[in-house]
A and B are shown apart, each in its own frame.
Chain A
Amino acid sequence: MGREECEALAKRALSFATVDETRITINSGGRGNTRFAVNQISTGGDNYDATVAVRSAIGKRSAVVNTNKLDDASLKAAVQLAERLAKLSPEDPETMPELGPQTYVEGKGWSEATASLDPNARANAARAITEPSRAAGLVSTGYLETQAGAIAIANSKGLFAYNKQTALSLTTTVRTEDGTGSGWAGATSHDFGKLDPKDLGERAIDKAKRSVNPVAIEPGRYTTILEPTAVGNLIQFITNAMNARNADEGRSFFSKPGGGNKIGMKVVDERITISSDPLDPEVYANTFSNDGQPITKTEWIENGVVKNLPYDRYWAQKQGKTPMPTSGTVRMSGGTATLDELIASTDRGVLVTRFWYLRPVDPRTLLYTGLTRDGTFLIERGKITKAIKNFRFNDSPIFMLNNLDALGRPVRVSASEAGGPGLAIVVPPIKVRDFNFTSLSDAV
């Protein structure tokens, strides 16, 4: 939906409101996908939906109702239900009043090339991978997803925010027919023009060929080079855990021993800065939060020191701080080395393509477990010498960034295990000491 259409719809919904405060959030858009498996397209899907969320507040009582029926009668019914539920809800002492009009910078993440991608174009992108795979006697599987939509927020105090955004991702796993080798490649962007399906297919094919018949090496602590995707897989757990309230309440890695939080404390190597910016050209994102606060460029960790933690509006008020919304993007600082240079500088180590089934083990230390997958190699005397069996690790991204050896050039990666667009994240390849691999896996 365009801006005017959203404004008109929001106005129509707000006209039915009778209580102190009402917020209307409109999410609309189309999604398309094509899946391929065993070198052919297996399924696909195209859908369009538009939903209206109505938040009604009476004093400190509130409730939310969502509907995807947008006619007058349905909208009115949704507003009435939200108001009725709000009346029945007990008072919440932490409820904050709706914001008045705000000033936003315009988001830039719309690409016509992505929005106009149809099933035929998606099928062509898939064939750029399936055909070379079949020709090489390999088996390709993959997924292309596009999203093109808009979000709008309007409230009874006159706030209006609108952003339209496209996103897409293409990921592929190429395996050998006998199942002894597997290679992955993937990319994501807001702009289809920035993706090269043929190149992705070639990278996955190359890895599949090189990963056959992996040998077992002993689990233990290894110097490890993580490709950017593997770094992206782990770094998002640091930003996900950043929340001032949880930290102040003593139930987070970011809790300070003795009370309070770790703002101002050094937690990782001083070469690490983690920031977010909705106008970063590599990771365009929404310029406002779900409750209508403007999102601007923010440093979360600067030179290894915690600079900011997200504060919701209530907690900020209670602690005497400025509210700080979370952001939909992450950028981690890097260096200038190429992946090849990181490998060449390594006497003995492990190269990881990506991680899988990452799950929290201990929130006190941000300890996670997970496994390597689709391209794990041994490095000896500066060269990749053999494919090795996958490992399970138990380690924390915080420990990892304290054992930092070297950083490469940051790039945007597809860091969602599920292969969808996921979090927009730019990270470098890194080389770390003593990464903790705890057991072997027979999975290829």
Chain B
Amino acid sequence: MLLEVRGLGKAFGGLHAVRDVDFDVPEGRVTAIIGPNGAGKSTLFNLLAGFYRPTAGTVTFDGKNITGMQPHQTVRAGIARTFQTTHLFEGASVLDNVRAACVVRSSSHALDAVLHTPRHRRDEKRSLDTSMSELEFVGVAHLRDEIASTLPQEAQKRISIAQALATEPRLLLLDEPAAGTNDEETEAFGSLIREIVARGVTVCLVEHKMSMVMNLADQIVVLDHGQRIAVGTPDDIRSNPLVIEAYLGADADTTGVTT
């Protein structure tokens, strides 16, 4: 297992946003985390990426205990993330946005830059190459010199994925990658995610669009009120009465989940 989450919990004051959550993320697969609004999905991502410190439980990544690590440490360990509301370095060019994300894989520091050491030059070249190839991969290489904030939402979403990929992750956490896109674009993001997985990067995503989740996911984790209520394949989840209840209340029509 690439990621093992055991008994993970986060309490804000007395309020448990996430409570006693267990699940595994198998390598090379797509794991989706779903649940009604306020189920604790974003909090869970923030815990995995180190933005929040868990109040209980452990997170193991590739056999290493990463519980309570700072974000820069989890990124270094190989976990990258995107945000629900896309944010980029607004005034910077597309290329610079992605290039900034190469920092974590570089070994040169300020002194190298000042002295213009070979290490610095090597890193600069590598950063540029990585950035360009990631931009090509997500399909926005032609926009490299544009100012990121002036681009349409869809392009910005792609750029933020390129940014996350530029940190060379083994696990990519995508927070609602298809939010605010139309059906056609959602489809395109779906195939982009498949390509990411084909490259050998494991994907874990939070998403509301059930069509996308059911199509993509190999495994689904369902959260409600901060707790894991189900885990399984899309087919398992579709027919799980607990999930149906959480989404629609009891006695509801099962087809509601699949739409």
A and B co-occur in one complex: no
Name A residues whose Cβ lies closer than 8 Å to a Cβ of B.
Answer: none
